Structure formats: C-alpha cells, structure tokens
Chains A and B, each alone.
Chain A
Amino acid sequence: MQQQRVPTPVTGSGVLPAVARAEGHRPPAGAGARPRRRPPLPGLAWLPLLLGLALWGYALPRIGFRTMGEYGLLDRLPAAFFAALLVLTCGFLLALRRAGTAPWWPAAYCVGMLFALKAPPALLYDSVRYPWASKHDAVVDTLLAGGELRPHAPLSGNMAAYEQWPGFFGLNAALVRSFGVESAAAYLNWAPVVLGLLLMPVLVLLYRTFTEDWRLVWTGVWIYQLANWVGQDYLAPQGFAYLLHLTVLAVVLRHFVLPGSAGRLRDRTFLDPAAAAVPPPTGRRQRAVCVLVLLPLLLAVNASHQLTPVMLCVSLAALLLTRRYRNYGLLAVACAVMLVWDLTMGRPLFLETLGTLRESLGELTRNSRPGYAGRLTGPGPELAGLANVLMVFAVAVPAAAAVLTRRRLVRSALPLLVVSAAPLPLFTVNDYGGEMLFRVYLFGLPGAAFFAAAALVPAAGARAASPRARTVRRRIAAVALPVWLVALAAGFLPSYYGKERMHYTPPAETALVTRSIDRAPEGSLVLAATGSFPRALHRYDRLEHWFFAEQELPENERMLADPARYLDDGIPPGTRAYVILTRTQDVYTAGEGLLPPGGFARLRDTLAASPLFTVVEEHPYGVVLEHRSPAR
C-alpha cells in the first residue's frame, strides 16, 4: 500500500527537506525547525568552493618546496594558499547551514579541503614524500622481483615483518603490474588523498549511525580531516588497515544491535535532539551473515598489519561493555583470525614481540613516548611539536565538553566513545617503535572528532532554561564554530608541514643513494645515521643495515667522540661496509634531536678524514664512504 510521504525536517538543521518544500508541506510543530533567518541562496553554495580552489590553484605553483628552510613548508606557502583554506572554511560553514537539505555541499567542501590540505605534495614533489615511505616501495619491488613471499626468511632490520604481514604490499605489487608502472613510487604520494577519500563515506556512515543531524556529521568529518595531521595516511599498511578497521566498526555498529537492548534509546523524548535512535536490532541469522561479509575485511586487516587487528579486537572487546553490542561470536572470530595469522605467517615476529612484552609491560611513560629517543630541535620541528600538542587539546577539550554537557547524546553514542577510548590501555603494553602514541591518537580520532563537533554544533531543538539562555547558547555557537575550525586549519599546517624538510628529498640525493646501494655487492653492510633517507632499504633483501644514530643521545655523544673507531668496532670483520650520509639524515637527526647541533657535520667530516674510510662519492647533498677493512 502506497502511503503519503510526510517528510520531517532534519533534526537540528533548521530547514525543511527538499521534498517537503516541493510538496508544500509545513513542518510539524515542535520539531525544532523554526527557520530564524533565511539560509543563503542555494545557487551561491558553489561560489566559495570555486573561489577557494581557484586561489589554491593559483598558490600551488608558487609553493617554494625546493627552498625549504627551518620552518619546512610553512614559510614557503604563499598568502593565496592560506586565503584558499580560509575561503573553503567559510564556504563549508555556509554550506553547513543547509546541510539538512543539501548534504552534498558540505561533502564537496570536505573533498575540496582534503585536496587543498594533502594534494600539494602529490602534485608538486618530484620525489617520494616521507623518506620512510620509500621503504614500502622497496618491499613492493622486492616482492615483484622475487615473485614470491618468504615470510620466514631472515632479513636484516626487521624487514622480514613486511613479508609476514604482506597483504598491503601484495595488493600494491598487483596494482603496479596491472597499471604497468615502474614502481609504487609512481602513485605513492597520492595515498593520503585516496585514503582520505575512501575513509570519508565510512566516517559518514559511522556518524550517521549516531546522529540524524547532517551538520554534526559533516563537522565531525571536517574536524577529523584537520586533526588527521599525524601522518599515518601515507602509502603504508597502517593507513590501509585503518580504513578496513573503521569499516568493520561501522558495520558492527549498524548491524549488530542485539534485540531487546535499546531501552529508552529509541524514545525521541529521551534522546538528544540531534541523536539518532539505536539502529534496528538484528537476529542471530542476520548477524551471522554480517560476520561472513566482514570475514574478507578481517582477513585483509590481519594480512596487512600487525597492530590494527589488536586494536580491532580491543575495540570489539570494549563493545562488550555495552549491552547493545554484546557479540561474543564476532569477537571470537576476530581473535581467532588474528591468532591463526600470528601463529602461522607472523610467527617469528609475534614470538619475538611476546618475548619483549615482559620488559615493556606497564612502562606507561616509555611506551607513550613519541619517536625514537631525542627531543625536537630547531624552530620548525619545535613549532610542529607544540602545534601537535595544541591540536590534541583543540580536539580533546571540546570533545570532553560535549561528553560532559550532552549526556543524552553520549548515552546514545556511547559505543562510539567506547571504541575510541578502547586503544588507550595499549600504552601499558608496548611502545611499537615509538609510534604507539600516534596510533592510539589515530584510533581515538573518529570518536573525538564526533564529540568535538557535538560541542561546537549544538542541537537546534535543544531545551534550554529560558529563551535568553537559548539565545546566548546560539550566539556562542555561532562564534565558537568558525573560530575553532579556523584555529584547527591553522594548527594543521605546522603539524603536517612544519617538519617538511625531513619529508622532501631532492631527486639528486635519491639518485646518489640508489647508485651507491646498487654498487654494493651482495651481503654488504650499509651504514647510515638513520634510516630516514630516500631508498634507504633499496635491495634490502641482499644487504645488511646498521642505522647507528637511532639510539639515546648520550650514547650518540659517545659515538661522536670518535665516530670512525665506533663504527669500525661495530662492523663485523671481513664485511664490506659502506657509510651513506645524506642531507635528509642531517635534517632528521638534528630535528628529532638524535644528534647534538653540528653533530652530523662533525660525523661527516671526521669519517671523511679518517684513514679507516675512503670517500667513494661526495656531493653537497651527501657523501658515500667505504670502510677499509684490514681483514679483507
């Protein structure tokens, strides 16, 4: 039986859906839908987008990435670039006012902002962004050259781990061959944009599960994008596995509600005006089908990355705390897949990690420390470090405020809060090579962004003590949202581009490294101050590596007292060894505080002058030395 359509306005949007307007319906009373002012003309929604992208297009060729100084890209971005971000933010805020009827405009602005923020390196750079991303390129090359996986073959520098969790590299190897390109470097710099685009609908799906207010959804997505400065979305297994992780959670949160668990959370009089009612419950058979649908995702997460399956299992276990999602079966399947993978393909690293857990367990401060060992040094890295901390607060403070003030929204969106907070206890387990802080931040971000948005976008139909209180609240929100979004955009730039001198390497330096490593005979030892330089692990399956400055500063100071002797002592007798020291290593070791100021230059000069080493090649951007081994 066909029934009449009676559309209701989007909660909190303050405007009527298009259908209602077309059919001349009046909004039902009490729906929080009194339009106070006319929304901006729909025809002009594209104008800021066009203007912002035009400004961005104008700024792009004027970004001086080749002449970066202490502040990375920050002082090399033209004024038009900042203006473009500002215009896009303004356009987004305008589009947000009509988000209920035209959710595609905020979506278009989110895509525009993603491009504006993360596409410049992909369009401009003539080399791989993030020297350590070239490691993944090397893994793909090795996989294609060998044509097979050898998960249990011993490889120098923990590289065997990549063949024990090879899913992402297998996919990229397949894409490289299918595209007919030379290597993954051809598209590597596009990864943040592509992953961002793929993640956006998943985030929307996740947020729509907990709110009906499109303004809240898109503000959450916008905040997520600006707060995703953490640099985990390059071409790496973690970025890909993270996408799959969120997808699994989105399916779980939408399709695994147990019958009889919703209670009052479907009662509109009880819910926050912006909240969505709990998704309809599913029967056991439907949930079983959903587990089957999730199985390829679970397998791919486990095949691709070591840590993400742990995060996923922790999140699913945390969901057991909520009555709504107490699905033991799904958790059992996720844990079983993880254990089977860890005990078969990933056995060597898994057992090794288990062995070290006894030392790292409970070392809360050490496990939550960022990076290797040093302290950020220099104006750019220091500013980036400060911006990182401020950005964390800029998201955490409003999120906490929303958790405290919008109790009803928190009650219905509690599962999102739970899965976002679930990875926090992992600080007590392991430091994950100095990366645990970034990973925990990233996994908590979707929920944090949602609740931060909830603080900045109050529900239009919210009850207030008096009309005056309502007006005050509305005025605060009208100021707070734009100010906060502009502040987040301003904080993103130093956080993401403040240390860019470490991330961009001139092609000549890459060529020098490639040449030197190609020259090294099989079994040689490659020495470098740090592994953070382009193509550091080129031909990693044929060579050994020693990144000798990746240790605590006091130990490095001892090394600097007589570097030639220090390295000579560490090189196994009879081994052919090459020392590669490049400009990027200089920038990295100085910026991350691994070496004291001037330490790298001292290292380079001392080694070049030492009788224990011969200079093979020397350029302003790097030097290659060969060890003179008396035993050879």
Chain B
Amino acid sequence: MPKETQLRAAVALSGWVALAATLLPGGSPLRWVPVLLFVGFGPGLALLHPQPAGLRPAARLEAFALAAPISLSVAVLIATSLFLVGGFTVTAFLLPLAAFATVVAALPGLPLPAATRGAAGGARGVDPGEAAGREGALSSGPAAGYGRGGGPSADTRPGPGSGGAAGAGADTDTDADTDSDSDTDTGADTGAEAGPGRAAGSGGR
C-alpha cells in the first residue's frame, strides 16, 4: 500500500478508534490517549496532510504546527454548537469529528501555498515588478521554510490555488533550500521563470 494511502487510512481510522475507546472504563489511558490524540491532531492532519506527492519538507513543519490548532478549533465549534442546542453527548461530539476526518482524509490536502509547489496565484496575478523581485531572490534561495521537494509530480496535484501557481512562485531558483529540512529537495523547477537571473543568482550564493 502506498505510504500516502496508509497515512490517509490511519488518520481516518483514528477517529473511529477514539470513538470506540470511549466504551472503555473512564479515565483509563487506553481511553483518554486515543481520544486526546484524535481530538488534538486528527482533523487537522486529515485536512492538511494528504498531498498526492507527499508534503514538501518545510510544509511538514507547517502541517505539524497547524494540525493541533485547526483540530482543536473544529472541536471547539462542534462542542459549542452541541451545548448551544442542548444536545451534547460523547457520541454526538466524536462522531461528526470522526466522520469529518474520514471524509477530508480521502480528499486532497488543503492547498496552502507552502504545501504545494508554488506560492503565487499564477502568472496572471503577479506583476512584472514582483517577477523581477523574485529574480533578485535567486541568490538567496527560496524563503526559509518554503522547502520544495516532491519532484516533478508535485505540481500535478489538483485543488484551487495550486496548478498554475506552481511555476510562478519561489521555485525560481536551483539552489537547494538553505534549511536542513530540505534534504529531499530535487530542484525540480524547470518552469519558464528560470531566466538569466537564475544562473546569476545561483552563482551568487
């Protein structure tokens, strides 16, 4: 089974495991640990993580950092809504969360720019000055934390905000990322944005 499918399955399953764990005696670690892990991370990871080509290295940090705040926010909204209508039960709380995680785990991950190849909204959305700015950036490597990777297939993922965006983003340079978490970088950027500045920039490093 591909790693990505395993991950999707694990995230989707974690909600149902947490729900099943509530059948165990109260306060048992076998009960609260899976519930805590799922409520704290499950929905967020399901939303952010599944990318067809895996997350780019620096985006892994982002998915990890955002998973808990997003998961807990979703849990806050569900719990508060249930208390507002006076319909709170453990099942009514965990079931929608588990169902939500299962559904979104099957969908492509949220297209946060850092998770996809490019960052700009496509060539149309970028003015010439900006393009020049990026050319100037060539000597610096991409912005910190925006490690690329995933190879050529990374820009094939669907979803709004990626697609045409891929070529016009920070991937204008051939330098590997300057951060050490970019070791899977393949420098796969072959887009039209690689102009003369690229060579100059790379050499300037």
Residues of A within 8 A of B (CB): 1-11, 17-19, 28, 31, 100-103, 143, 147-149, 166-168, 170-171, 173-175, 177-182, 186, 198, 201-202, 204-205, 208-212, 214, 240, 243-244, 247, 250-251, 254-255, 259-264, 266-269, 271, 276-287, 289-290, 293, 296-297, 299-300, 303-304
Q: Using known A-B contacts A5-B186, A8-B175, A254-B145, determine if residue A271 contacts B140 with beta carbons closer than 8 Å.
A: yes
Q: Count the A-B residue pairs with Cβ separation under 8 angstroms: how many?
A: 306
Name the A residues within 8 Å of B55 (CB-CB): none
Name the A residues within 8 Å of B127 (CB-CB): 259-260
Name the A residues within 8 Å of B83 (CB-CB): 143, 147-149, 166, 170, 173
**Does A101 lie within 8 Å of B136, measured CB to CB?**
no
**Does A212 lie within 8 Å of B144, measured CB to CB?**
yes
**Does B75 lie within 8 Å of A299, measured CB to CB?**
no
Name the A residues within 8 Å of B32 (CB-CB): 178-181
Name the B residues within 8 Å of A3 (CB-CB): 174, 186-188
Q: Using known A-B contacts A208-B61, A267-B139, A280-B119, determine if residue A300 contacts B94 with beta carbons closer than 8 Å.
A: no
A-B contact pairs, 13 of them (CB 8 A): A6-B176, A103-B181, A174-B93, A178-B18, A178-B35, A204-B65, A279-B170, A281-B119, A281-B120, A283-B161, A286-B113, A286-B161, A300-B77
**Does B69 lie within 8 Å of A243, measured CB to CB?**
yes
Name the B residues within 8 Å of A268 (CB-CB): 137, 139-141, 204-205
* A296 and chain B: residue at smallest CB distance: B73
**Does B119 lie within 8 Å of A279, measured CB to CB?**
yes
**Does B130 lie within 8 Å of A262, measured CB to CB?**
yes
**Does A289 lie within 8 Å of B73, measured CB to CB?**
no
Instruction: Mark B73-84 against chain A: 1 for CB-CB distance below 8 A, else 0.
Output: 111111110111
CA distance A271 to B133 in the complex (A): 13
**B136 partner, pick from A6, A181, A251, A264, beta carbons under 8 A:** A264
Name the B residues within 8 Å of A289 (CB-CB): 110-112, 160-161
CA distance A69 to B135 in the complex (A): 64
| B65 nearest CB across to chain A (Å) | 4
B residues 68-102 near A (Cβ < 8 Å) are 68-70, 72-80, 82-86, 88-90, 93-94
**Does A103 lie within 8 Å of B180, measured CB to CB?**
yes
Q: Using known A-B contacts A266-B140, A281-B126, determine if residue A168 contacts B119 with beta carbons closer than 8 Å.
A: no
CA distance A304 to B124 in the complex (A): 40
Q: Using known A-B contacts A178-B90, A205-B62, A280-B143, determine if residue A267 contacts B137 with beta carbons closer than 8 Å.
A: yes
CA distance A344 to B74 in the complex (A): 20
Name the A residues within 8 Å of B175 (CB-CB): 6, 8
B25 at the interface (CB under 8 A from A): yes
Name the B residues within 8 Å of A269 (CB-CB): 139, 204
Name the A residues within 8 Å of B152 (CB-CB): 1-2
Total number of B residues with any Cβ neighbor in A under 8 Å: 95
| A414 nearest CB across to chain B (Å) | 15
Most buried by B among A1, A170, A175: A170
**A178 partner, pick from B47, B65, B93, beta carbons under 8 A:** B93
**B143 partner, pick from A10, A214, A278, A296, beta carbons under 8 A:** A278
Name the A residues within 8 Å of B137 (CB-CB): 262, 266-268, 277
**Does B120 lie within 8 Å of A280, measured CB to CB?**
yes
CA distance A162 to B86 in the complex (A): 17
B103 at the interface (CB under 8 A from A): no
Name the B residues within 8 Å of A166 (CB-CB): 80, 83
| B2 nearest CB across to chain A (Å) | 20
**Does B145 lie within 8 Å of A209, measured CB to CB?**
yes
Q: Using known A-B contacts A8-B178, A171-B72, A209-B144, determine if residue A178 contacts B39 with beta carbons closer than 8 Å.
A: yes
Additional A-B contacts beyond A171-B75, A180-B22, A268-B139 (18; CB < 8 A): A3-B174, A10-B180, A148-B84, A171-B76, A174-B90, A174-B93, A178-B22, A212-B179, A243-B69, A262-B137, A277-B137, A277-B142, A285-B122, A286-B165, A287-B121, A290-B113, A297-B69, A297-B73
Instruction: Mark B167-205 against chain A: 1 for CB-CB distance below 8 A, else 0.
Output: 001100011111111110111101000000000001011
**Does A186 lie within 8 Å of B187, measured CB to CB?**
no
Name the A residues within 8 Å of B188 (CB-CB): 1-3
B114 at the interface (CB under 8 A from A): yes
Q: Using known A-B contacts A167-B76, A269-B139, A286-B121, determine if residue A293 contacts B110 with beta carbons closer than 8 Å.
A: yes
B residues 101-159 near A (Cβ < 8 Å) are 110-114, 118-122, 124-127, 129-130, 133-134, 136-137, 139-146, 151-152
